[in-house]
Every structure is written in structure tokens, then in C-alpha cells.
Amino acid sequence: MDHPPLPASWSERVLAALDYAVLEPRPDGTFRLCGRMPDWLRAFLPDSAAAGPLDLAAASLFLEHFLVDARAFWASGAPGPLGSGPWTETDRRGREWVLEATALSVDGRALLLVGFPQVDFHRTQQLVQAARVQAVQYHRTLEEIARRDVLLHCIVHDLKNPLAGLKGSLDLLRAGLEGETRLQEPAALELVAIGLRQAEKMQALIETIQEAFAGEIDGLVPSAQSPEQAPDAAAVVRDVVAGLLPEARLKALTVDTRLPPGPVPVVGDAARLERMLYNLLTNALRFAPAGSTVTVGVRGEAEAATLYVEDEGPGVPPEQQPRLFRKFARGNEQPGHVGLGLYFCRITAENWGGQIGYEDRPGGGARFWVRLPRPTPR
Amino acid sequence: MIKKKICMLGTSAVGKTSLVRRYVQGFFSEQYLTTIGVKIDKKTVDLDGQALTLVLWDLNGEDPFQRVAASYLRGAAGFLLVADGTRRLTLEGALRLHERLHDALEGVPGVLVLNKADLTASWAIEPARIEALQREGWTVRRTSAKTGMGVEEAFEHLARRLLAP
């Protein structure tokens, strides 16, 4: 069925239904509004501007900019409309609007349409946002994979040397036992000892890796919160120092232990606390110069206790300090150390509601500290 | 009153909108809402007794989903080129964007902002890289829209350059 043509006033009503402002430029730079004024436009105008010519450039910072392009477009007589793209701007009362403007010519007359974007702005925004979030996550995953590749390379490299030592010792033992070479008992025992040391190195490396990755999910494992179950930080320090004294003596290091007289219960569990302190102390022993002193201590306060380890070594260069507790941070690129020890310490301390930190030791050297909360009495 | 247009440039999700929000409204929101097109804000500052209105054009981030329209830069008196200090690629992307918009930005003073400086454990921009950029003539500032660190200073530094004779 063929309808009669709609009257011209209908197009005005359609634009009004779409909440569009139809504006015609005047020679003095202001605009004449054709049809009714949308509420959103009224919100951008001063009250005195409700009737008469509209100064759009004064009403909207964006339109002030776009009208330069629009006037050039009208003057050029170029075909097709000129769109501004969506913009977001706040009206005089602080309400935010998303708008879009279109400059066009109709029968040689310049017109400006301003209204809400015809694409579903918020849907588009959601889609673009989702894509961007995915892109960021994708890049982070790529970086993580790259770091894991480096880790894998380091692990292979770091396991290769002790494995070669172990195999060499076993080869010599086999040759001796099969009579290929003359091997006295002391020499055989020495080969066994060398082999064991190499195996222990590999074991320590693997344990560090396992702990670091297990530590990432240890936040789910409950730690001791009551004084009865809580590990005694002072006792942990004594045990770890006792275990590492032979290594310290080999380097002629003095280990100065500073502990309060009584027990210092902290949140956590003894095994992981020992491992944490072991990591910090072995680092200190590694970097401390022969003949110097390594200081290990605990300072108890009402709500927390601080364990600290100090050495008189070179300290950590400032550019390496921000990455010190990150995964795979190989500060000194030392073979046998994949950069997970301090990461393990950080995630463990944080899982227990504590903190870890580094500062230069006054007088030179490094000072690592771990601050752990005290357990709450029942 | 003097009015100056400042454009926020960079790749997506580096914190341009958060920097503007922190600077203009004084708060930070964890909720990420991507910018489509451009978002306009303004702030009037007093610099040694001189009132200056900064009209802040927070442009959409440049990425495969949206390109920054060079026409938005017309009339810009200054710009902040923003990168996420925890994602090295965003710095290179920002520098590529600056290069692409070279014609529109020629002679326009800018500050290179490395945002998210509160995330020290994830920081990915080496000091040597920053020094190299400074040697190339960039003014580099570390900011955190989250804590507010360095935000006022970055905008104020640019504002002072805009007023410099």
C-alpha cells in the first residue's frame, strides 16, 4: 500500500524524537536552533541563552574545536557529511554526556546536527574494552612465557654442571671398582663425597624452584595464628645459624646472632620460616667478604617481629633493588641461582600478612628484613 | 584568563584517564573504563599568581582497535605522552604514536609520563632507557595515578612550560 508523502514537518519530528539538535550557522559565528531544544543542549547553555542565537563554541569545549573543521567543510563545498566522532563532556551541572556532531550541507545550506551517537556507544565501549583487556593479558602471558623460557634455560644450565661432576665421580668410582684404575679407599670416599655434594646442589636447586611455585598457592594453606602453634622466630634463627656455621667458617666469617632473651612467636610455620631465613642467610654468606661479620637478629615488638640479616658485602646496586623480590630476578647472574629465593621469601611473608624489604646497611653492605605479625591470643 | 589545550596521548590502558581524574577530581578508581573518542575536562590552576585553565583532551588509546585522530591535536599547546611503566611495549608504542603524529605535534612541548610507578615490583623500564630518552630531549616523569605520586608535578611542569616566554 502506497502512503501519501509525509509532510515536511515530520522530518523535524523525527529528529526531535532522536533528541537531535538541528542548528544553522549564522554569519556572526553563533547558531540558530531549528525546532525544539533538547534537554541535554539546554544543560550546556547558560540560562540566559535559552532563546536567541546560540554560542556553541562557548557552550562546549569540544564543539569550539570541531566548529573550526565544520566551517572549513561548509566553505569547501565538499560532498558528504563531516562527523566528529563520539566525545564525552560534562555539562554546567556536572553531568557527563556522550555526544556526536555532524556537519552537512542541504541544498547549499550549512547545517549542524548534534545528538547522541547512533552506534550503541556503551556496547561499543564494552567490546573495545574487552578486546583491550584481552590484549593486555595476552602480552602479559607472552612475557610470562618468555620469563619461563629463561628460567628453563637457567635450570638446565645450572643442573648441567653438578650433574657433570656427579657423573665424573661415578665414572671414576666405576673404573676403580672394575680395576681399570687403582683406587684406594680414601680416594673412593672422596669421590663419593664429591658426588654427594653435587647431588645436594641439584637437590637444593630443585627445592628452591618447587618452593617458589608452591609458595604462590600457599596463601590457601592456613598458618599458625595462635601463640601455642606459632613458630618461635628466635629458635628458628638459632637452628638455621647452627646449620650454616660450617659454611661460614669455611669463608672465615663471623656470624653475630642478636636475639631477645625469650621466645618470639610469629604468624607462619616453622619449616617455611626456616627456609626463608636459610635463603637470606646463604645469600649473605655468599656475598660477604672473607673475614667479615654477618649479623642475624630478631627484634620483637608488640604487634610484629622483625628478622634481619646484614652483611658487609657490596650491597645491591640501586638499579637492581626494585626487581630484587621479583620472580626470576637474577641480580648477580650467578650460576646455581635462578632468582627464586627472594621471590619465595616475599610471597611467603606476604601470605602471612607480613612484609620483606631491603636497605643498604649503614657503613656498607646489605640489610634484608622480614616483618611478621605476632599471633593473636585466643 | 589564559586557556591552553593539553592532549593525553598513549596506547590503551596506560592510565591516561586515571591521570586526568586524579589531577582534576583528586581520586583514583580501580574500575577500568576504556575511552572511546575523546573525553574533555578542564582545570584552572594558579601559577605564581597567574590563572591558567588547562583544557584536557583525554584521547582514546592507540591500538589495533582505535587510532588517534590527528585532527584532535589541532590547537594543542602541550601534551602528556603516557606509558605504563610495568609494560615496556607501551613505552615503545607511545614513542611510535608520537612519531606518527609528528607533523601535528611539531613544536608542541610535551612530557613523557611513566605511569603506575606504585607497582615497583613489576617495573619494567630500565634506568638506562630513561636516561637515553632524556638524552634525546624528553622530559620524563614517573607518576602513579593510584597514589597521586608525581601527578600534580607532571601537569604543573608542562603548564609552566606553556607559560614560559
User: Residue A133 is part of a domain; what is its CATH number?
Assistant: 1.10.287
The confidence score (pLDDT) of residue A321 equals 83
Strand partners, B11: B62
Residue B61 grid cell: 588509546
Residues of chain A with pLDDT > 70, as a percent, come to 89
Same domain, A136 and A71: no
Of A68, A89, A125, the CB nearest to B40: A89
- Kindly indicate the confidence band of residue A43, based on its pLDDT and cuts at 50, 70 and 90: very high
CA distance linking residue A318 with residue A308, whole number of Å: 20
Q: How far is CA A53 from the centre of its chain?
A: 54
CA distance B110 to chain A (A): 20
CB distance B112 to B139 below 8 Å: yes
Contact assignment for B36 to A125 by CB distance below 8 Å: yes
Residue A4 inside a domain? The answer is no
Length of chain B, in residues: 165
CB atoms within 10 A of CB A16: 15
Q: Say whether both A170 and A92 belong to one domain.
A: no
Phi/psi at B117 (5° precision): -70, -10
Q: How many angstroms separate the CA of residue B99 from the nearest CA in chain A?
A: 22
Helix (H, G, I), strand (E, B) or coil at A122: helix
Residue A110 CB contacts under 8 Å (≥ 6 apart), including other chains? A24, A25, A70, A74, A103, A104
pLDDT score, position A72: 94
Smallest CA-to-CA distance from A372 within A280, A305, A301 is with: A305
**Residue entry with cell 666405576:** A174
Q: Give pLDDT tens digits for A152-208.
A: 777 777 788 788 888 988 999 999 988 888 888 888 898 899 889 889 888 877 877
- What total of structural domains would you count in chain A? 3
The answer to whether the CB of A113 falls within 8 A of the CB of A101 is: yes
Residue where a domain stops, chosen among A118, A141, A175: A118
**DSSP states of A145-214:** HHHHHHHHHHHHHHHHHHHHHHHHHHHHHHHHHTTSS---HHHHHHHHHHHHHHHHHHHHHHHHHHHHHH
Q: Answer whether residue A2 is part of any domain.
A: no
Q: How many other C-beta atoms are found inside a 10 Å radius of the C-beta of residue A277?
A: 24
Contact A85 B64 (CB under 8 A): no
Q: Is residue A290 part of a domain?
A: yes
Interval A243-268: pLDDT, tens: 888 888 888 999 999 999 999 999 98
Of A318, A247, A317, A320, nearest to A278 by C-alpha is A247
* Whether residue A102 is found in the same domain as residue A134: no
What is the average pLDDT score of chain A? 85
- The predicted model gives A361-374 an average pLDDT of 94
Question: Can you tell me whether residue B7 is helix, strand or coil?
Answer: strand
User: Hey, are the CB atoms on B35 and A90 less than 8 Å from each other?
Assistant: no
SS3 call for A255: strand
Owning domain of residue A181: 122-215
Q: What is the pLDDT of residue A271?
A: 81
Report CB contact under 8 Å: A135, B41.
Answer: no
CB contact under 8 A, A85 and B122: no
Please report the pLDDT score of residue A287 as a whole number: 92
**Which pLDDT score, from 0 to 100, does residue A8 have?**
60
Burial of A339 (0-12, 13-18, 19+ CB in 10 A): buried
Tens of pLDDT, residue by residue over A317-365, are: 887 887 788 766 654 455 455 567 788 788 888 888 899 999 999 999 9
A185 lies in the same domain as A274: no
Count residue pairs from A and B with Cβ separation < 8 A. Answer: 72
Per the confidence metrics, is the pTM higher than 0.80?
no
Q: How far apart are CA A310 and CA A361, in angstroms?
A: 7
Query: How much is the pLDDT for B97?
Result: 97
Of A85, A87, A319, the CB nearest to B127: A319
Residue of A118, A57, A100 lying closest to B37 (CA atoms): A100
Are A188 and A288 in a shared domain?
Answer: no
Top pLDDT among A8 and B128 is at: B128
Among A189, A215, A241, residue at a domain's last position: A215
Q: Count how many residues are written for chain A.
A: 378
Nearest Cα neighbor of A365 from A282, A295, A275, A274 is A295
pLDDT at A99 over 90: yes
Is A255 exposed, middle or buried (CB count within 10 Å of its CB: 0-12, 13-18, 19+)? buried
Is the CB of residue B97 less than 8 Å from the CB of residue B10?
yes
Count Cα atoms within 13 angstroms, Cβ side, for A213. 8
Whether residues A208 and A224 fall in one domain: no
Q: What is the ipTM of this complex?
A: 0.78
Chain A residues near residue B89 by CB distance under 8 angstroms:
139
Instruction: Please report the pLDDT score of residue B66 as a whole number.
Output: 87
Query: Are A231 and A343 in a shared domain?
Result: yes
Q: Which residues does chain B have with pLDDT short of 50? A: none
| A348 and A261 share one domain | yes
- Domain match, A229 and A365 both: yes
Is the Cα dihedral A62, A66, A67, A68 positive or negative? Answer: positive
Q: Which residues of chain B are at the A interface, by a Cβ-Cβ cutoff of 8 Å? A: 5, 12-13, 32-42, 55, 61, 63-66, 69, 71-72, 74-75, 87, 89, 120-123, 126-128
- The predicted pLDDT at position A280 comes to 93
Percent of chain A with pLDDT over 90: 43
The three three-digit cell numbers of residue A234, written as one number: 628466635
Predicted local confidence at residue A315, as pLDDT: 93
A350 in the same domain as A231: yes
Do A195 and A246 belong to one domain? no
Pairwise CA distance, residues B146 & B117, whole Å: 9
Which CATH number among 3.40.190.10, 2.40.260.10, 3.40.50.450, 3.40.50.300 corresponds to the domain B2-163? 3.40.50.300
Residues A89 and A139 grouped into a single domain: no
The whole-number pLDDT of residue A220 equals 43
CA–CA separation, A272 and A262 (whole Å): 21
For A41, the 3-state DSSP assignment is helix
Per-residue pLDDT band at A6 (split at 50, 70, 90): low
In a domain, A3, yes or no: no
CATH code, A24: 3.30.450
Q: What is the pLDDT of residue A203?
A: 86
Instruction: Give how far A125 is from chain B: nearest CA, Å.
Output: 6
